[in-house]
Amino acid sequence: MEPIRVGIIGQGRSGRDIHGAHLSTDPRYRIVAVADALADRRARAMREYGCEAHADAAALFARKDIDLIVNSSFSFQHVPLTLAALKTGHHVLCEKPLASTAKNVDRMIAASKRAGKVLAVFQQSRYAPYFVEIQRVIASGVLGRIVQISIQFNGFSRRWDWQTLREYDGGNLLNTGPHPLDQALVLFGEGTPEVWCRMDRTEEGSWGDAENHVKLLLSGKGHPTIDLEISSCCTHPTAMYRVYGSRGGLQATGDSAEWTWFDPAAAPTQRLVREPLAQPDGTPAYCGESLPWQTGKWPAVQPAAAAASGYTPAAPPTSMSATLYGMLFRTLREGAPLEITPQQVRRQMAVIEDCQRQNPSIYPPARGKAR
């Protein structure tokens, strides 16, 4: 089977270090050409990939020997360049953020349908091994009803690049946020969440005008509360994930997870007592019992815990990029449906817009949204 012929827009941290690094080693794809305004990056791409290079993305769109355009341009260019690529008859894989408004996602979806071409989004963290494992534990039911999920993509860092600028669609929510927000909305489930958000920008941490601290709550009847932080102001980050359930809980980092639960059938039988509780000697007592706790761990799940819960650990993971590009290959060559759709990502953009509306000190209402 012929490899998918690829043109990459941009040879920066994403275009070269993520997409180029993977595609140059994946036999299902062949990099035909790249576009970058910087001459040294074009020269490097020609050496590393054995491809052609152009100074302008329009040159990629004019080529008929390219099947797929990977749009890893500046964030604010994602919409116009994706629309142009679709119009010229190319499939598109667009980096995150797909857009900055739900309306622009609608435009991109409509353009994809008119062209009869695939519009995919590089939300590779949907395939993060820790996230796949968290979903498996939740789906097993051992934690009971999920009450709250706390997610922290936190650390302490200072930035002075273009991703600190609102005019470039920078800031923590549009830059880092698409990864944890995509995961959060998967765990939230179907439907439109109620959104509460507070943003901040520390003068010592960001040389631009966009936020470097985000606190976001998603809630809704019949859904767990999602407590999401994306902060560059946290010197003591804790677990990336904490899941609160009616029968137990889970905590996870990017490399490991541990969960603890009890089986109600094996727990002591209790009944509601309205009278004051007392010790056998008549002194006051507090509710206390010894629950039969069980534990599980990933990547090394304890056999006894696995057997008791009916939980089966996932197979050894491949990289997130490899998994996403494998999915995309099946879509383009075999007609399989996309697993991550622009319609799903549209809900993410609607949440981000709501967050920005709630923070007018950083995102004034008059801010242009024409892109």
What tokens were used for 128? 């993060």
Strand partners, 29: 4
As a whole-number percent, the residues of the chain with pLDDT over 70 amount to 93
Residue range 128-309 in CATH 2.40.50.140: no
Region 20-42 average pLDDT: 97
Evaluate if residue 316 carries a pLDDT over 80: no
Q: How far is it, in rounded angstroms, from Cα 165 to Cα 323?
A: 31
Burial of 92 from C-beta contacts in 10 A (0-12 / 13-18 / 19+)? buried
All CATH 3.30.360.10 domain ranges of the chain, comma separated, are 128-309
CA 344-214-237 angle, 5° bins: 105
**Is-contact 120 19, C-beta < 8 A?**
no
Region 24-43 average pLDDT: 97
The whole-number pLDDT of residue 300 equals 59
What tokens were used for 130? 């820790």
The whole-number pLDDT of residue 304 equals 53
The whole-number pLDDT of residue 206 equals 85
Evaluate if residue 324 carries a pLDDT over 90: yes
Q: Select the CATH number that applies to the domain covering 4-125+320-357 from these four: 3.40.50.720, 3.40.50.2300, 3.40.120.10, 3.40.50.1820.
A: 3.40.50.720
Evaluate if residue 302 carries a pLDDT over 70: no
Region 33-47 average pLDDT: 97
**How does the average pLDDT of the chain come out, rounded?**
92
Tens digits of residue pLDDT in 127-183:
999 999 999 999 999 999 999 999 999 999 999 888 999 999 999 999 999 999 999
What tokens were used for 77? 């260019």
All CATH 3.40.50.720 domain ranges of the chain, comma separated, are 4-125+320-357
**Is-contact 94 71, C-beta < 8 A?**
yes
Evaluate if residue 311 carries a pLDDT over 50: no
Helix (H) or strand (E) holding 306: helix 303-309
